[in-house]
Structure 1
């Protein structure tokens, strides 16, 4: 298995690290940390992570006094932010979702979609605009950063969380069929989740290209994430006979084999049928 490559060349760094490109702050409001993304998105692109949030994070939102969610880096369209509101709204009373963008023009462009306090849009970056959310969804915002700067972005976001808050940071392809994300709290990473349209992959390690910055360059022999993906591929190969019953059956069998081998999987096995598996970060963290 070869080392996965990131989608973009590592070319950006976060304040206050030395900069390769200017500006480091968004025009307009001061202290919005980061650089603009390409801004492209599609409807339903983030459905996989949203379904995971619904399955795992709703109790956290229900139990807090102010269920504030931030959608960081929503892009040139508000579509995925509004989808998040529609998915979480029926489950969480008093839900507030704030979309943050470092590009003021993108905030202006979605003015018609504002409906505060339920839905709002503001200029902001990794500092989270001074808010203290219970949940942050930060998808496809760190691909352009190098590993050190991405780690600093994690630290900046974690420091801005409200009590008991969680960050969901990850990447997906343009149609949302292949996704990988990390869940972090104020103390650091907790879990790593893989989610895929199973019919679209040849092996589970096809998802390596979507690994977070903290892992993607460590997918080499001797590193835990490499061992995990090799074990997953081996379990997938061993379950080839179940392909007759469909790729989902094969995926579930492969995940069951991982659990039997002792990999610390997290969450309900019902999620496996959705082409999903979550493992503890401690089992795949770089050494």
Structure 2
């Protein structure tokens, strides 16, 4: 099966995807625990396989010991370089793209991949990655994983958008604008829902300045958004981690 997609830059760092990995354990943990074959695909793991190794370790520790992670890359050189880290059946590396190498995972993580594509290609990629029923977590983050956003996509359609930050480094929520998923980043202009959402997030943050530190400020920001009528999901147990999730703004 010919891989679908293009070779991306492949930039990666240890712990870069810790935030989204923890979200996957929370959001998709029950799906994996109930699955006959608890497979997760790390699509486009990059120049080194460190994020796939970390994903396998985190899910095995927090969700299910026999979870299987398959790292997929289009570049055969990267696939070959990753083989010393493989530990089948728990961790494998194969050549593949949006067609998922013919596999049928429960969850797909595709981070910092579609950011390098044209927006017109996003919908087809979403559809391909969820065609067998997988839940897709697709997003982008900065080089150290301090600022991130991601979508939860099922059957080719996004359902939620999550903002996540290491709160000690968060100066202002406007920073998220640079790390929006590809489907949204060019729509952060007046008249579009994502623009209105970022404005509301910024206003709430500015209003809730507190002497008790950034975590309490973030919690107050989430509560203010909810009080203003925005359908903020989850609750303080996730907000404390630096997350705010909302229905997809589209």
The question of a shared fold, defined as TM-score above 0.5 by the shorter chain, is answered with yes
* 1:176 maps onto 2:148 in alignment: no
How has the CA–CA distance of structure 1 residues 155 and 278 changed in structure 2, closer, same or farther, with 3 Å as cutoff?
same
Determine which of 34, 37, 44 is the counterpart of 1:66: 37
Determine which of 122, 129, 144 is the counterpart of 2:101: 129
Q: Give the equivalent residue in structure 1 for 2:159.
A: 190
In structure 1, runs of 5+ residues without a counterpart are 1-29
**Residue 110 of structure 1: SS of its match in structure 2?**
helix
Distance 2:66 2:89 in 1: 9
* 1:120 maps onto 2:92 in alignment: yes
**Cα contact 2:127–2:156 (8 A) shared by 1:** no
**Cα contact 1:220–1:226 (8 A) shared by 2:** yes
**Residue 12 of structure 2: SS of its match in structure 1?**
coil
**Residue 45 of structure 1: SS of its match in structure 2?**
coil
Q: Give the equivalent residue in structure 1 for 2:246.
A: 279
Distance 1:78 1:248 in 2: 32
**What root-mean-square deviation, in Å, do the aligned CA atoms of Structure 1 and Structure 2 show?**
1.1
**Cα contact 1:62–1:93 (8 A) shared by 2:** no
Q: Give the equivalent residue in structure 1 for 2:10.
A: 39
Distance 1:215 1:114 in 2: 35
Q: Give the equivalent residue in structure 2 for 1:232.
A: 201
Offset at 1:187? 5.0
* 1:104 maps onto 2:76 in alignment: yes
**Residue 195 of structure 2: SS of its match in structure 1?**
helix
Which consecutive segments of 4 or more residues in structure 1 shift more than 4 A?
A: none
**Cα contact 2:4–2:99 (8 A) shared by 1:** yes
Distance 1:41 1:187 in 2: 26
Offset at 1:40? 1.7
* 1:266 maps onto 2:238 in alignment: no
Cα-to-partner distance string for 1:81-124 (whole Å, 9 max, x where unaligned):
01011100122142111000000000100111111111100000
**How many positions carry a matched residue from both structures?**
249
Cα-to-partner distance string for 1:185-211 (whole Å, 9 max, x where unaligned):
115111100001123232212101111
Q: Give the equivalent residue in structure 1 for 2:212.
A: 245
Distance 2:106 2:77 in 1: 27
Distance 1:111 1:93 in 2: 21
Determine which of 37, 48, 57 is the counterpart of 2:19: 48
Distance 1:60 1:236 in 2: 34
Distance 2:206 2:87 in 1: 50
**Residue 115 of structure 2: SS of its match in structure 1?**
coil
**Residue 195 of structure 1: SS of its match in structure 2?**
strand
Offset at 1:268? 3.2
Q: Give the equivalent residue in structure 2 for 1:13.
A: none
